[in-house]
Amino acid sequence: MFHSRMSDRAMLVVSAVALALGVSVSSMATAETVTITFANWAAAEGTTKPAIDKVIADFEAAHPDIRIKSEAISFSEIARQLALRVRAGNPPDVAQLAGNDTFLIAATGKLEPLGGYLDVALKAELKPDATSGLSYQGKLIALPWTLAPAGLWYDKAILQKAGLDPEKPPRTVDELMTAMAAIRKSQPDVIALAVDTTNRPFSLQSNWPWMATFGADPLGATGRADSPQMKRYLAWMRELAQNRYIDPGRKIGEFRPLAAQDKVAFVWDQVLLQGVIQSASRMTDDDFYKRWGVTVQPAGPGGKSYSFEGGHQLVMFADSKQKKAAWMFMQYLAASPSAIRDYTLGPGASLPPLVRMPSPELAKKLDTPIYQAFTSRIIPTVTTPPYGPAFAAASSAIMAGVQQAVTGTESIDQIAGSMQQQLERR
Amino acid sequence: MMQRATVRVVRDARRVPWLDPMVLPAAGALAVVVGYPVVYTLLLSLQDYDLLGTVPERFIGAANYRKLLDDPTFWQALGNTAIYTFGSVAVAALLGLALALLTESVGGHRGRLARTLLLTPWAVPFVVVAFLFRYMYLQNGGAINAALLATGVIDAPISWLNVSSLALTAVMITNIWTMTPFFFLLLAAALAGIPNEVIESARVDRARGWSLVVQIKLPFLRNALLVSSLLMIIANFNDFAKIWAMTQGGPGYATTTLVIYVYRQAFENFAIGYASAIGVVWLLLLLAFAIAYLRALRTS
Amino acid sequence: MSSVRPRDAVRRATRAARWAAIVVALVVSLAPVYWMVATSFKTELEAARLAPTLWPHEPTLANYRGLWSGSLPFLAFFTNTLLTCLATAVAAVVVATPAAYALSRARFRLRGVIGYAMLVFRMLPLVVLLAPLYLLLLHARLLDTHTGLVVGFATFGLPFAVWMMKGFIDTVPIEIEEAARIDGYPRWQIMLKVVVPLVVPGLLTTATFVFMEAWNNLIYPLTFITTLEKQTLPAALVLAFTGQFKTDWGGMMAAATLTTLPLMIAFFAVQRSMVRGLTSGAVAGA
């Protein structure tokens, strides 16, 4: 009896403890799953959707308590959408952005500064060039995800046929003009130079290095759209059109399949051109390097070469309720070996923003003539235009002027003057 | 006797209600879904409102409207809109009329087939039309230049969408291609509705060919033509997808109509106050036009 | 011995000229549609050629296969568009008909105002209404839903339907209702049982117009729908084929062909009653 009373009480205590333990154990087992919304265009485009879906699935497998809800929004709409959503109070947690859009959204003041999330290890891994251009009002507001600078691609077969040395692409604008004249003569059905002359902020971004190499700075602190340098740039664009070296009005994406058919001699395009050409023409890597090379921009009267960074960044919104999980996802996308292998170097056809590759296998993938040219020679020439809301607003005035120079008949002075007037009116 | 009638009329007049219950669902729904945004737009037009929120919004009264008057791009857009709208509608109406008259006397299966096939352009969604014609208008590689070069009409490719003097015309051609079947359908139906006796008596009077058309048939078509034109003019003012997908309002501002300009102001400059002001002016212009038009229609 | 009279020769010549003109019109009307379909069967490279080919030299079904089994849910786009446009058309006609009947028959003070308001709402710049409408849908939690999209479509569909139905109802002589009115039937029943059966072609015409306008709308789905699986065809065309990487003309034309086909079928199916409706209806007298 004594025994049973003791065991009764013991039983009571034991069961109470067991109950308490059991409750806490079960609450640990059913830790809340957190859902992160990720606004992006990678999932909206056929080329990249399978890859980004896989990366997300891999992340979810590695982190069972985090779910990613991918919101597919088109590249041309995402800035507008995010601006509306920020205003309306329902932004996503994480978003993919690029170029001027990143700074447009930063201007709303609703982006979470990321400096505090970068730990020492990651800070050492990231290329300083990659993060230096991503500050707004002194704070880092975006994590670089992919690097995709632009260079001058050249089709060696076309150069050879025109009697030019396929291993010595033009280094100055004058040499470029001579080369294009030769190409036009020998192969009149080839487009000599592919540049984007549509009227969108992206084309201003893409043409900014050309304006810079002529010494023009239409939006700078002391810059003017009617400066002699800008007029010289506009006159050069007109010369390109009059000699039929360019095909005006085409988006850069519309030139890429033509390049795959050897119908374009020089392409001013980002590192991802290789991926598009190879997927369209089914060329092997070796054949591609035999056919295509890339070099820095031919220098203009200013004497310096420039490039622009067309890669993608990741931002986190200040209103997010799960910042820690969002950061883990962002870090995974940018720096994890599997994401780099499956997305960045895969269909993304871009460079990771890391100083060193996290594995020898990935380091080997980067050891190609094209990637080397970008990493060692082109990336150092990247210049950042004055991104921001003013850039977007000004881009339609400036690109309209460029279009008028290219296809219109008014004098360059007139065009530059009216451009400056419009910029002043803002 | 007379007095009682007067009293009855007066009493009836006092009992005329303000609203009819049958109208309530529609009117109510629209008051919320349209009325609220319209009022909001009016209020926005009086403010300096940055959609990005970089500067706090403030009330500036009629400043947006003053800015509009001095804005050369606004006037250019207005001009482009007038040319695009009235030009396309006029040509489409004429072509539709011509087609209706041409196919009127063709009967039987062949006639029915021809009439059905001629309606095809209207069944193609606008977004598709825009991309399709953009593809066809490409300077190098577009079907239109290829066809013109092959038949020897031109000897160098024309840059349809990238030369300021041509771009508006090119876009209008696309618009006319889409719109003509609408007029064709309407006018063919109206033609079919002309009572036979009228035609017969005209024939007896030896009216033939051209005079038959002008003096007898056209008056019957007048109403249909004018009302459908008004419908199409209103629809064309809102035509965004076609122009945007083809030229984004370029080159320069050659194809920028009011709709494109408003979109750029609202969603690229994020100046939604200014965009709203343009929208209000647009609405007032269209309203004035429609009222004048309908009044002219009614009095004749 | 030729017995051809000059008048016969003239008549034959005019008939030949008339047919020639019709053939030219047919070619102009159909050539772009042919081009769209032909391109949809071309490979990516052939579709992008600088010297286009008149018909596909290497015909392929790859573009269509890509739509069906590709990474983008094309079938979902299609059903989304179909459902939202049908819902808009039906809702518009159902709500508009009583209103149109009242505007046509009843006497009430706000009659003129409401009638003109319908016309005015037709003229509204949709682009400008975008931001306030977005906020409205947000507060009602209807963003990124098909219901919200139908509400957006209704902003232009409903006024249009009221205006058109009023025109059709106006052409029904009021005497037809006299008998039923004298017998004391309530107005709803008179409308449903006497008037509506007489304007069925008008109903179909109005529904078709509203359907087509909703189908054609690009800007609302682009702004209000953010989940790709819920997107409609016009927006999907823009998203899917003019991405950052390249413009896939072949794929776009395949999607375009499939987008056009149902509209064309619907259009031709109701075409005959549309003609009947239009002759007796709105455009005969405003």
Q: What digits encode the pLDDT tens for the residues A162-198?
A: 999 999 999 999 999 999 999 999 998 899 999 998 8
- Tell me the nearest-neighbour CA distance from A356 into chain C, angstroms: 27
CB distance B252–A393 less than 8 Å? no
- The candidate with the shortest Cα–Cα distance to B191, out of B149, B222, B230, is B222
At a CB cut-off of 8 Å and minimum separation 6, what does C53 contact? C42, C46
Element (H, E) at A155: strand A150-155
Q: What digits encode the pLDDT tens for the residues A306-347?
A: 999 989 999 999 999 999 999 999 999 999 999 999 999 888
- The candidate with the shortest Cα–Cα distance to C275, out of B178, B102, B190, B112, is B190
Cα–Cα distance for residue pair C28/C67, rounded to 1 Å: 29
Q: Are A178 and A239 in contact (CB under 8 A)?
A: no
Cα–Cα distance for residue pair A95/C205, rounded to 1 Å: 44
Give residue A45's pLDDT band: very low, low, confident or very high (50, 70, 90): confident
Pairing of the two strands A264-270 and A191-194: parallel
Cα–Cα distance for residue pair B240/C127, rounded to 1 Å: 9
The pLDDT of residue A22: 46
Task: Kindly state whether residues C143 and C13 are assigned to the same domain.
Answer: no
- Percent of chain A beyond pLDDT 90? 46
Q: What is the mean pLDDT of residues C74-79?
A: 86
Q: What digits encode the pLDDT tens for the residues C224-239?
A: 887 778 888 888 777 6
Least confident of A375-389, B214-228, B239-253: B214-228
Amino acid letter, residue A181: A
Is 50 exceeded by the pLDDT of residue B2? no
What is the average pLDDT score of chain C?
A: 81
Q: What is the CATH number of the domain that holds C253?
A: 1.10.3720.10
Q: Is residue C198 part of a domain?
A: yes
Which residue among C44, C131, C227 sits closest to A257, beta carbon to beta carbon?
C44
Is 80 exceeded by the pLDDT of residue C207? yes
At a CB cut-off of 8 Å and minimum separation 6, what does B112 contact? none
Amino acid letter, residue B225: L
Pairing of the two strands A34-40 and A66-72: parallel
Q: What is the mean pLDDT of residues B183-209?
A: 75
Q: How far is CA C281 from the centre of its chain?
A: 18
Task: Kindly state whether residues C251 and C169 are assigned to the same domain.
Answer: yes
Give residue C241's pLDDT band: very low, low, confident or very high (50, 70, 90): low
Task: Kindly state whether residues C40 and C164 are assigned to the same domain.
Answer: no
Instruction: Decide which of C33, C63, C93 is a domain's last residue.
Output: C63
Task: Kindly state whether residues C58 and C106 are assigned to the same domain.
Answer: no
Instruction: Decide which of C48, C63, C78 is a domain's last residue.
Output: C63
Q: Return the top range by mean pLDDT from A329-333, B142-146, B284-288.
A: A329-333
Amino acid letter, residue B52: L
Q: Measured between beta carbons, which residues in chain A are less than 8 angstroms from residue B268? A: 201, 392-393, 395-396
CB distance A403–B51 less than 8 Å? no
Task: Kindly state whether residues C259 and C218 are assigned to the same domain.
Answer: yes
Q: What digits encode the pLDDT tens for the residues C95-144?
A: 999 888 888 888 887 888 888 788 777 777 777 787 788 878 877 888 88
Cα–Cα distance for residue pair A389/B265, rounded to 1 Å: 12
What is the domain count for chain C? 2
- Tell me the nearest-neighbour CA distance from C109 into chain B, angstroms: 5
What is the average pLDDT score of chain A?
A: 86
Per the structure, the complete domain to which residue C55 belongs is given by: 6-63
Is C62 in the A-facing interface, judged by CB distances under 8 Å?
no
Q: What is the mean pLDDT of residues B287-295?
A: 81
Q: What digits encode the pLDDT tens for the residues B36-62?
A: 888 888 888 898 888 777 778 888 888
Task: Kindly state whether residues C83 and C178 are assigned to the same domain.
Answer: yes
Is 50 exceeded by the pLDDT of residue B9? no
**Bridge partners (DSSP) listed for residue A269:** A151
Task: Kindly state whether residues C80 and C213 are assigned to the same domain.
Answer: yes
Structure tokens at C107: 């006497």
Q: Is residue C1 part of a domain?
A: no
- Tell me the nearest-neighbour CA distance from B280 into chain A, angstroms: 21
Mutate one of B15, B16, B33, B42 to test the C interface: name it (highest C CB count within 10 A): B33
Is 50 exceeded by the pLDDT of residue C282? no
Task: Kindly state whether residues C118 and C240 are assigned to the same domain.
Answer: yes
Q: What digits encode the pLDDT tens for the residues C171-183?
A: 888 888 888 888 8
Pairing of the two strands A135-136 and A139-140: antiparallel
Q: What is the mean pLDDT of residues B2-28?
A: 64
Output the DSSP codes for A232-260. Answer: HHHHHHHHHHHTT-S-TT--HHHHHHHHH
Task: Kindly state whether residues C90 and C11 are assigned to the same domain.
Answer: no
The sign of the CA dihedral A259, A261, A262, A263 is: negative
- Tell me the nearest-neighbour CA distance from C178 into chain B, angstroms: 19
Task: Kindly state whether residues C45 and C75 are assigned to the same domain.
Answer: no
Q: What is the mean pLDDT of residues C251-259?
A: 84
Task: Kindly state whether residues C194 and C250 are assigned to the same domain.
Answer: yes
Q: What is the mean pLDDT of residues B30-38?
A: 84
Cα–Cα distance for residue pair A128/A382, rounded to 1 Å: 13
Is 60 exceeded by the pLDDT of residue C286? no
The pLDDT of residue B100: 87
The pLDDT of residue A4: 46
CB distance C155–B30 less than 8 Å? yes
Q: Could you tell me the domains of chain A?
A: 34-141+312-349 (3.40.190.10), 150-308+385-425 (3.40.190.10)
Instruction: Decide which of C44, C63, C82 is a domain's last residue.
Output: C63
Task: Kindly state whether residues C14 and C130 are assigned to the same domain.
Answer: no
Q: Is residue C277 part of a domain?
A: yes
Is 60 exceeded by the pLDDT of residue B4? no
